[in-house]
Amino acid sequence: MAQKTKEEILVGERDFDSIFSYDAGAVRSRFLTEIRDNRKLTGIRCPQCNLVYVPPRSVCLKCFANLSDFVEVGQAGTLTTYSIVHRSEPFCPVAAPFAYGIIRLDGADTGLVHFISEVDPQKVHTGMRVKAVYKEERVGSILDIKYFKPAGGEK
């Protein structure tokens, strides 16, 4: 029989106007741990509607089923919408101008919000194929994905 291991619960800190901690919860912690330890992106599949949520959540938004079936999704995806930011803010880890958008990863039915880089912000477009770029040192944060960059010949 497979031996069940104890799930690790991650706690994150952010430096905004004040420093605070938050509990990522069991589902989100597993998602962040896979990014940190294995450079893998995971979603969670609904057993009733078959939707795959990225980032994972504990309850299906469509049918309210409890979710527990983690699945690996692709490292690449399609940019479904985006925004170009022209003003730097002290809490943002990226200097303006930069792009961020919603990426529907291959194998997922929902989108993940993240930075888009290694492309002129004026050349970012809906439908653009992008892939994940990871930080070398990862700590269990969504920012362990440094950004997404064009997946193919787009620059």
56: containing domain: 11-150
Q: What is the pLDDT of residues 65-124, one digit of tens each?
A: 999 999 999 999 999 999 999 998 887 888 889 999 999 999 999 999 999 999 998 899
Residue 5 lies in a domain: no
Residue 137 lies in a domain: yes
In a domain, 72, yes or no: yes
**CB distance 98 to 41 below 8 Å:** no
Residue 4 forms part of a structural domain: no
Please tell me the distance from the alpha carbon of residue 53 to that of residue 8, in angstroms, as a whole number: 20
pLDDT digits (tens, 9 = 90+) for 34-69: 999 999 999 999 999 999 999 999 999 999 999 999
Q: Is residue 2 part of a domain?
A: no
Read off the pLDDT of residues 8-19 as tens digits, 9 standing for 90 and up.
Answer: 777 666 555 555
Upper half-sphere CA count for residue 49 (Cβ side, 13 Å):
15
pLDDT at res. 9: 72
Domain count, the chain: 1
